[in-house]
């Protein structure tokens, strides 16, 4: 067909966004089904409207939204005639985006309310991984980490999954600290949670060091959304003089305001005592009890993590098991075994990371 797109009245700001035709022409479109992707994203992009619906449907607003949806359906029908629907060509958000297109096909404002209450709004409906630097940034291509690549820590992984599944079901769950030797797979275990549970509404937000001071504003933004968020802090450690650890301790447990029940803190560290100390920081054993108060306060940060999972160092046997797992073999032949040991003893040491690096060079 060669007909021109219908002329539409620009949508009011604060409802479903700007004129969809102008947006369609200006938007850099991804490979796949660009018009379907764009229209779905327009619905989820109405954050202000979605938040009002999540808090309660305002009287008189539904009629205005119905009018917007009607005009968007006209645009959808026109575009579908010109560009037959194949697939959305999108990341991992297909379920949410298909639901949005169904609202455009036959829904009204009440259906849009249901869409927001099920999937939230952008960017949380469209992405499953984010980084927080003081501003929230979606990650279009998250690490597809798989816990099956980890060997030797099956009990720890089972306890981590059980805690997260309680969290996903709405039951109380414990903040988690994964600590232990470098290269053992602690970060992979956390990132694998997104891989396993994204379709059940789990979102992974990695808080980078520069964003830790502004965590309260992130928590308020996540409060009330339908998704469940793992707030992930990698390689957590503070110097004793850094005041940030006291603030984090209050966020985990002790602040006067209530933390959102849809946020779960998960941290990794190479040490259980998250506050770096020197031996000179410790009082003399014969000192008055009050002299140990500072030590106890520093230990209290780790105590805020109710579930603490230890990842001990690899030995040679576990390292070779990991190499075999990465190479997808039941066992290693003598030549591969000798080469893997030589690779580790060149200074890399026995670890899951070394096993993966060796396998990457030998696939």
| Ramachandran angles phi, psi of 329, nearest 5° | -125, 150
Measured in whole angstroms, the distance separating CA 200 from the mean position of its chain's CA atoms is 12
Task: Write down the pLDDT at residue 3.
Answer: 44
| Distance (Å, whole) CA 74 – CA 21 | 11
Q: What is the pLDDT of residue 83?
A: 64
**Strand partners for 203:** 229
Q: Are 103 and 43 in contact (CB under 8 A)?
A: yes
Q: What angle do CA 192, 193, 199 make, to 5 degrees?
A: 110
Report CA 92 to chain centroid distance, whole Å: 13
Q: Measured between alpha carbons, how far is 37 from 116 in angstroms, rounded to an integer?
A: 17
| Nearest one of 217, 249, 211, 253 to 232, comparing CA atoms | 211
Q: What share of the chain is helix, strand, coil (3-state, %, to 5)?
A: 50, 10, 40
> What are the DSSP E strand ranges found in 143-248?
176-180, 202-207, 228-233, 238-239
Secondary structure of 53-68 in the HEC alphabet? HHHCCCCCHHHHHHHH
**Quick check: 21 and 74 in contact, CB under 8 A?**
no
Domains of the chain, by residue range, sit at 20-126, 138-311, 316-361
Q: For position 1, what pLDDT does the model report?
A: 41
Residue bearing tokens 């005041």: 243
Query: Using an 8 Å Cβ cutoff, are 152 and 314 in contact?
Result: yes
Per-residue pLDDT of the chain (363 residues; tens, 9 = 90+): 444 443 333 444 445 555 554 555 454 454 455 677 777 777 887 777 777 777 776 667 777 788 778 877 877 777 777 666 555 544 455 678 888 888 888 778 888 888 888 888 888 988 999 999 999 999 988 999 999 888 889 999 999 999 999 999 999 999 999 998 888 899 999 999 999 999 899 999 999 988 888 888 999 999 989 999 999 999 886 655 455 556 666 666 655 566 789 999 999 988 766 555 544 454 455 545 444 344 444 556 667 888 999 999 989 999 999 999 999 998 999 999 999 999 999 988 998 899 999 999 987
Range list of β-strands (E), the chain: 129-132, 136-138, 176-180, 202-207, 228-233, 238-239, 263-269, 275-276, 307-311
pLDDT recorded at residue 111: 86
CB atoms within 10 A of CB 225: 23
- Superfamily of structural domain 138-311: P-loop containing nucleotide triphosphate hydrolases (3.40.50.300)
């Amino acid at each position: 067909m060669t007909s021109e797109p219908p002329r539409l009245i620009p949508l009011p700001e604060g409802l479903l966004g700007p004129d969809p035709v102008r947006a369609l022409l200006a938007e850099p479109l991804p490979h796949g089904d660009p018009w379907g992707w764009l229209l779905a994203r327009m619905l989820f992009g109405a954050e202000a409207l979605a938040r009002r619906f999540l808090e309660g449907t305002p009287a008189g607003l539904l009629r205005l939204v119905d009018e917007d949806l009607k005009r968007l359906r006209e645009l959808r029908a026109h575009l579908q005639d010109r560009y037959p629907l194949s697939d959305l060509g999108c990341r991992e958000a297909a379920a949410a985006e298909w639901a949005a297109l169904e609202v455009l096909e036959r829904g009204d404002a009440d259906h849009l309310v249901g869409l927001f209450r099920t999937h939230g709004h952008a960017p949380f409906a469209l992405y499953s991984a984010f980084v927080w630097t003081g501003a929230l940034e979606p990650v279009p291509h998250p690490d597809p980490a798989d816990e099956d690549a980890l060997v030797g820590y099956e009990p720890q992984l089972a306890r981590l999954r059980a805690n997260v599944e309680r969290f996903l079901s709405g039951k109380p769950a414990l903040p988690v600290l994964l600590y232990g030797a470098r290269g053992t797979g602690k970060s992979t275990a956390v990132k694998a949670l997104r891989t396993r549970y994204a379709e059940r509404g789990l979102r992974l937000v990695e808080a980078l060091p520069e964003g830790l001071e502004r965590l309260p504003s992130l928590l308020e933004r996540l409060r009330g959304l339908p998704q469940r968020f793992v707030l992930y802090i990698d390689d957590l450690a503070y110097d004793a003089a850094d005041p940030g650890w006291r603030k984090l301790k209050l966020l985990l447990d002790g602040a006067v305001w209530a933390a959102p029940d849809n946020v779960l803190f998960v941290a990794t560290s190479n040490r259980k005592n998250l506050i770096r100390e020197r031996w000179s920081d410790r009082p003399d054993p014969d000192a008055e009890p009050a002299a140990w108060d500072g030590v106890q306060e520093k230990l209290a940060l780790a105590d805020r993590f109710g579930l603490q999972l230890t990842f001990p160092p690899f030995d040679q046997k576990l390292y070779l098991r990991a190499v075999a797992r990465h190479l997808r073999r039941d066992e290693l032949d003598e030549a591969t075994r000798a080469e893997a040991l030589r690779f580790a003893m060149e200074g890399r040491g026995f670890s899951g990371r070394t096993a993966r690096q060796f396998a990457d060079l030998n696939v």
